[in-house]
């Protein structure tokens, strides 16, 4: 049974459709990547899944429950987390306060969870009182991921988690993604660093012009010459 089932989604901004009948699915504990050229509709797809955009057609099911058209604050309560590409942390709040905000809807004691997040990102513990606005892009990404993990999501949507980061940090973020995945969190990752992402992905989808053009296992997509030429930079 798939954890997340996206069927024939058509969506866009205003009058213009960006996605054209896109279907994808995510199984338990999987990492699935969505790759494709700029403007293919990758980020739009994530936003639609998370309820930031209402699809014109199609359905989205989380654990067999219809979530199409629900608002993001409802979807987050159903066990899905979303890390936007930019402006994904609260700049005037400290690292610690950002994590606390991640647990805003939790009414139980979440101190264990905080410790777990600091264990996952030890760099954050050292700078827990610092304002996030003063941190580097890599640190902010960690804050954003940590904040989303505060609610123990079953599904995590990551929009370009390594965009504009230094190579060393990119490797680190990928390691963290694998670590989070091992804890049982299934993920959909949209990435420009397509090769690196496919290496850690169970499966991948290639989007172009708002349509799904390929789907296969991560390894097969990496080996596919046509995809390599068109989307992975040769």
135 lies in the binding site for another protein (CB under 8 A): no
Tokens 């049974």 belong to residue: 1
**Which of 15, 87, 108, 225 lies at the binding interface for another protein (CB under 8 A)?**
87
Question: Which residue, 161, 171, 152, is CA-closest to 110?
Answer: 152
92 lies in the binding site for another protein (CB under 8 A): yes
**Which of 41, 55, 84, 218 lies at the binding interface for another protein (CB under 8 A)?**
84
Axis-axis angle for helices 95-102, 111-120 (nearest 10): 120
Question: Which residue, 39, 50, 48, 47, is CA-closest to 10?
Answer: 48
**Which of 39, 72, 167, 184 lies at the binding interface for another protein (CB under 8 A)?**
72
Query: Is the distance from CB of 170 to CB of 200 less than 8 angstroms?
Result: no
Task: Write the interaction track for another protein spanning residues 148-187; mark x where CB under 8 A is met and - where it is not.
Answer: ---x------------------------------------
**Which of 3, 5, 32, 50 lies at the binding interface for another protein (CB under 8 A)?**
50
Query: Is the distance from CB of 126 to CB of 160 less than 8 angstroms?
Result: no
CB atoms within 10 A of CB 224: 16
Chain residues that interact with another protein, rule: CB under 8 A: 50, 52, 71-73, 76-77, 82, 84, 87-93, 97-98, 100-102, 104-105, 147, 151
């Amino acid at each position: 049974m798939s954890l997340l089932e996206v069927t024939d989604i058509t969506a866009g901004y205003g009058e213009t459709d960006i996605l054209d009948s896109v279907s994808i699915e995510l199984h338990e504990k999987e990492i699935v990547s969505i790759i494709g050229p700029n403007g293919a509709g990758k980020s739009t797809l994530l936003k639609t899944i998370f309820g930031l955009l209402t699809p014109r057609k199609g359905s989205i099911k989380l654990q067999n429950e219809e979530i199409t058209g629900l608002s993001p604050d409802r979807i987050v309560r159903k066990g899905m987390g979303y890390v936007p590409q930019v402006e994904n942390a609260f700049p005037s709040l400290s690292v610690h306060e950002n994590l606390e905000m991640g647990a805003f809807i939790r009414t139980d004691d979440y101190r264990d969870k905080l410790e777990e997040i600091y264990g996952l990102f030890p760099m954050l513990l050292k700078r827990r009182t610092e304002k996030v606005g003063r941190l580097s892009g890599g640190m902010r990404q960690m804050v954003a991921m940590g904040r989303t993990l505060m609610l123990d999501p079953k599904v995590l949507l990551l929009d370009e988690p390594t965009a504009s980061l230094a190579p060393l940090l990119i490797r680190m973020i990928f390691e963290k993604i694998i670590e989070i995945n091992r804890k049982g969190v299934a993920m959909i990752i949209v990435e420009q660093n397509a090769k690196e992402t496919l290496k850690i992905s169970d499966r991948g989808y290639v989007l172009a012009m708002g349509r799904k053009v390929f789907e296969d296992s991560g390894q097969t997509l990496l080996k596919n010459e046509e995809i390599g030429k068109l989307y992975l930079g040769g």
